[in-house]
Amino acid sequence: MTPEEHLYQGRLFSVKGEYKEAIEEYKKALEIDPNYKLARVNLAFISYMKGPLNKDRVASNKHMKLAKKNKESNRDVK
């Protein structure tokens, strides 16, 4: 397979939430072409999303949405 085909397969896995498989495909693309920027970017993005801070990011995003929602609903109470 070509690096582009591995990238495509990686994206398909990523969309389905199958990150382990996606990572493997991106790594295969980089084995063939170590300078393939799209594979590096996609691999970095998944690493970022799966990183140890991901749970904190998700919790923070939920907190921010709730705070915004509460602020908006408090405007209506006046």
Structural domains in the chain plus CATH codes: 3-77 (1.25.40.10)
Task: Give 31-62 pLDDT, tens digit per residue.
Answer: 999 999 999 999 998 887 777 655 555 555 55
Interatomic CA distance for residues 74 and 10, integer angstroms: 45
Task: Give 17-27 pLDDT, tens digit per residue.
Answer: 898 999 999 99
The pTM score is: 0.64
Query: 3-class SS at 76?
Result: helix
**Range 29-37, long-range pairs (CB < 8 A, 24+ positions):** 29/3, 29/4, 30/3, 32/2, 32/3, 32/6, 33/3, 36/3, 36/7
